Amino acid sequence: MHLTGLDFLLWAVSFAAQVALLFVLCFRRRASAYPFFTTYISANVVRTIVLYLVLHFGPRAAYFYTYWSLAILDVLLQLCVVYEISSRIFRPLGSWAKDVRGSFLCFIGISIAMAAALTWLADPHTRFWMQVLIIRGNLFSAVLMSELFVTMITLSVTVGLPWKAHIAKIAQGLGVWSVMDFLIETGHSYFGLSQKTGVYHHLSQMRIAVYIACVAYWIVTLWRDAPAPRELSGQMYRELFALQGLVGSQLQSLRSRRRS
């Protein structure tokens, strides 16, 4: 695998950005609030170091197996982040909202089926079977993640459940990343590796650049504090007592209407 100076630059910037994000998560005490997201970012930092070391000091085959193992871990952690986000949105009182459970599970099933169908349809040109496996695996995870994020957005707006401050920022970043990743993996699957490797390479660079932009977004938004909730003023408390009489008379009116 031939890597250019730009590749190393993107790799280094991506690594530095993820370390900075990890620092923000720990220093601003977001790590305990979003454990799966913190684990996902930590795993990405470790993944970058491990892949760099294996590429430079390990045998060629080891890179493939390491890359593939860590890619599976990456997808599993992304699914955990999806769970973390959805549990914050769809469990407003601590348990899953009863009108959401069925629809969400149904959408998950449809998303997996559609991602599998599109992955099956992809027929990338490659030289080795391992490359087909990587391209199809990446495509499947990109399609699935983008479908899940759009499902969460659609469902939350439809049923009227709001997104709270920081979880919304995490979801927005991951949502944009997954949709862009879907687009890039479509390009990877279409152009393949056998002839136009240049296109594949440029798309991979674009993928890292998009990810760096998302990490930068998380650094800024997770550093900032969430808007503080307002306190009820003394006057509003006084008005509350005055109001009780008004509502009481309304109820009385309802009762008399029923009796008549």
Applying CB under 8 A, the residues found at the interface with another protein are 92-93, 97-99, 114, 118, 121-123, 143, 146-147, 149-150, 153-154, 156-163, 175, 179, 182-183, 186, 189-190, 229-230, 232, 236, 239-240, 242-244, 246-247, 250-251, 254-255, 257-258
Pick 18 or 111: Cβ nearer another protein: 111
Residue nearer to another protein on the CB measure, 49 or 157 = 157
Nearer residue to another protein within complex by CB, 59 or 162: 162
Q: How far is the CB of 171 from another protein (least distance, A)?
A: 11
Report in angstroms how near the CB of residue 140 gets to another protein at its nearest. Answer: 12
3-state SS string over the chain? CCCCHHHHHHHHHHHHHHHHHHHHHHHCCCCCCCHHHHHHHHHHHHHHHHHHHHHHHCCHHHHHHHHHHHHHHHHHHHHHHHHHHHHHHHCCCCCCCHHHHHHHHHHHHHHHHHHHHHHHHCCCCCCCHHHHHHHHHHHHHHHHHHHHHHHHHHHHHHHCCCCCHHHHHHHHHHHHHHHHHHHHHHHHHHHCCCCCHHHHHHHHHHHHHHHHHHHHHHHHHHHCCCCCCCCCCHHHHHHHHHHHHHHHHHHHHHHHHHHC
> What's the closest the beta carbon of residue 91 comes to another protein, in angstroms?
10
**Least distance (Å) from another protein to the CB of residue 236?**
6
Measured from the CB atom, the residue of 56 and 98 that comes closer to another protein is 98
CA–CA distance, 208 with 11 (Å, rounded to integer): 8
Nearer to another protein, 1 or 247 (CB): 247
Shortest distance, position 206 Cβ to another protein, whole Å: 15
**Closest CB 6 distance from another protein, rounded Å:** 26
Task: Give whichever of 5 and 260 is closer to another protein, judged by the CB atom.
Answer: 260
